[in-house]
Structure 1
């Protein structure tokens, strides 16, 4: 019976071709969100490898990011800094690029660190966020916005938030006052669920992101507050949003993890394999094998959310 159905379908296809019709598989759109982000993740992790702060590979990643930003027409400025840790002084740098609206001095900062831990290749933590921001920058390249968008890629996050602290600590009062929000991205590929957080007293960016995700049918959540140390909707100060939050700037933080397992603190990212970040499993080969389709899905989800979020904050410009 199955062979007969196959024969019938083959004959039908042949008749359609003879009649001037062709049957083609539906190709995925070339501009599908997340595709370009994946290519960036692939290059950073497989083309360069681990990007430990202060090493040659961190410098290679910095050069790559700056070149990609320059290709998009953004002038990538390198902000070098030094820091001392365990009596050792190291050099690193932030990469800063501005999408200038030409209309206002108000700005939104979008940031992520590009260095990685010594173990693994840093696909989840944090090439994923670099890829999402670079693709979002391309999507917004020719889009008119009523505010500036400043893309910052931080060095040496794994050494104690060195890059973000250096940038935030050197902001002048006028820039702090004119910064509408800081959106941080960290570790987007591996987690069982996707989240957005805000600060306890200023959660409007978080709520806007949740609203956007709902309209796009993307299952974005926030911290459910099962751990009293981290109230619902908030998170800890362990990533690059923290220095900006300390400066009084409204923050949002996007990541993929699982707040309902382990110590209920968001550190244990997956039910099946526990934490991925800072382990040998933080590479694309493992992630694609252990969670088929998850890396691509996460990059699609976060690229879509971030792009729409940056285009929908116009009501906050005053």
Structure 2
């Protein structure tokens, strides 16, 4: 079983057949001239998936298989951060070890096939609330993606963020506001932020200039005990009106979890940031390591591992932060 990340190249229709090259962790020093023309078999860990693939391409590998470094019920779903020139697949630790101990050692060939879908469709759902008086108001966007990955039910990623955004829409529908409020429920986030990108690039210049902030909710309700911090992910790692407002709100309302400003993309806030709109991704992670929950992108991403208390905490933090902006 294999998962193909967004950005992977396709194989020929008959698939890619080649010998395996044990590229260990995929660092530059893990490759030799023998990697050329082979499929690089790489373990997860220490460097990013994007770097692993780039090093394999540089070494002349014709494809990449990345296997997990921990036992999970489903295959690894790597995020490679953009398009690449070779086909890439994610597999489980068990599959990776089996390939190493059998196929690679015996210098056998493997075949894997990647087909690009060209007619798939997705949807965005947009809800807007405008002040009763005036026009050309500043806009505050609350976003959450509602898709998940194959084999993962998606309770945390991202029914948690979607549910909090829906609840905020319900609560804020009757509050007096002085700025425009938009709820952006984006599809196709997991295959390259396509839904949010589609939404943002269709904003007019006037709408972008009026866009004050984007609060992006993603994986805010995990019950994983190690995820004690709410990370405020900024694409450039810099504070902005969203992170500043959240920090001020947390101090004012007594948010129990630590808030950590962190440099990270990989969610729909990237689309807003690239358009010049201040954006922050709210997500739960483990302090110091920034690790995500072990259920991430696996069949164990179920409601059993969702915390009602943490959903409430995220809703109160983001809701109070948003309202402090739209009521002015």
TM-score by length of 1: 0.61
Contact kept, 8 Å, 2:214 with 2:280, in 1: the verdict is yes
| In 1, Cα distance between equivalents of 2:247 and 2:238 | 17
Of residues 151, 172, 176, the one that matches 2:208 is: 176
| In 2, Cα distance between equivalents of 1:239 and 1:174 | 24
Q: Secondary structure at the match of 1:278?
A: coil
Residue 260 in structure 1 maps to residue 288 in structure 2: yes
| In 1, Cα distance between equivalents of 2:183 and 2:326 | 18
Q: Secondary structure at the match of 1:196?
A: strand
Match of 2:292 in 1: 269
| In 1, Cα distance between equivalents of 2:324 and 2:280 | 14
- Deviation, 1:104, is 3.6
Match of 1:27 in 2: none
| In 1, Cα distance between equivalents of 2:258 and 2:207 | 31
| In 2, Cα distance between equivalents of 1:157 and 1:300 | 24
Contact kept, 8 Å, 2:126 with 2:184, in 1: the verdict is yes
Inter-CA distance 311–174: structure 2 relative to 1 (3 Å threshold): same
Contact kept, 8 Å, 2:145 with 2:218, in 1: the verdict is yes
Match of 1:303 in 2: 315
Q: Secondary structure at the match of 2:299?
A: coil
Match of 2:230 in 1: 194
Match of 1:279 in 2: 298
Q: Secondary structure at the match of 1:98?
A: strand
| In 1, Cα distance between equivalents of 2:232 and 2:153 | 25
Inter-CA distance 276–185: structure 2 relative to 1 (3 Å threshold): same
| In 1, Cα distance between equivalents of 2:238 and 2:229 | 24
| In 2, Cα distance between equivalents of 1:200 and 1:235 | 4
Q: Secondary structure at the match of 2:159?
A: helix
| In 2, Cα distance between equivalents of 1:214 and 1:201 | 19
- Deviation, 1:157, is 0.6
| In 2, Cα distance between equivalents of 1:104 and 1:144 | 15
Alignment deviations for residues 239-277 of structure 1 (CA, whole Å, 9 cap, x no partner): 00001101111112211111423xxxx3x224xxxx222
- Deviation, 1:168, is 1.1
Of residues 78, 81, 98, the one that matches 2:128 is: 98
Contact kept, 8 Å, 2:180 with 2:326, in 1: the verdict is no
**Correspondence 1:51-70 to 2 at 5 A:** none
- Normalized per residue, which structure has more helix? 1
Contact kept, 8 Å, 2:181 with 2:326, in 1: the verdict is no
Of residues 208, 229, 232, the one that matches 2:245 is: 208
Q: Return structure 1 stretches of 4+ with deviation > 6 angstroms.
A: none
Instruction: Point out where structure 2 has 5 or more consecutive residues left out of the alignment.
Output: 1-114
| In 2, Cα distance between equivalents of 1:311 and 1:196 | 18
Inter-CA distance 164–189: structure 2 relative to 1 (3 Å threshold): same
Match of 2:186 in 1: 154
| In 1, Cα distance between equivalents of 2:302 and 2:229 | 19
- Deviation, 1:146, is 0.8
Contact kept, 8 Å, 1:109 with 1:149, in 2: the verdict is yes
Contact kept, 8 Å, 1:107 with 1:180, in 2: the verdict is yes
- Deviation, 1:159, is 1.0
Instruction: Point out where structure 1 has 5 or more consecutive residues left out of the alignment.
Output: 1-84, 224-232, 289-294
Q: Secondary structure at the match of 1:88?
A: coil
Residue 120 in structure 1 maps to residue 120 in structure 2: no
| In 1, Cα distance between equivalents of 2:150 and 2:200 | 25
- Deviation, 1:202, is 4.8
Residue 245 in structure 1 maps to residue 264 in structure 2: no
Residue 217 in structure 1 maps to residue 247 in structure 2: no
Match of 1:166 in 2: 198
Q: Secondary structure at the match of 2:162?
A: helix
Alignment deviations for residues 46-104 of structure 1 (CA, whole Å, 9 cap, x no partner): xxxxxxxxxxxxxxxxxxxxxxxxxxxxxxxxxxxxxxx82432111100010111334
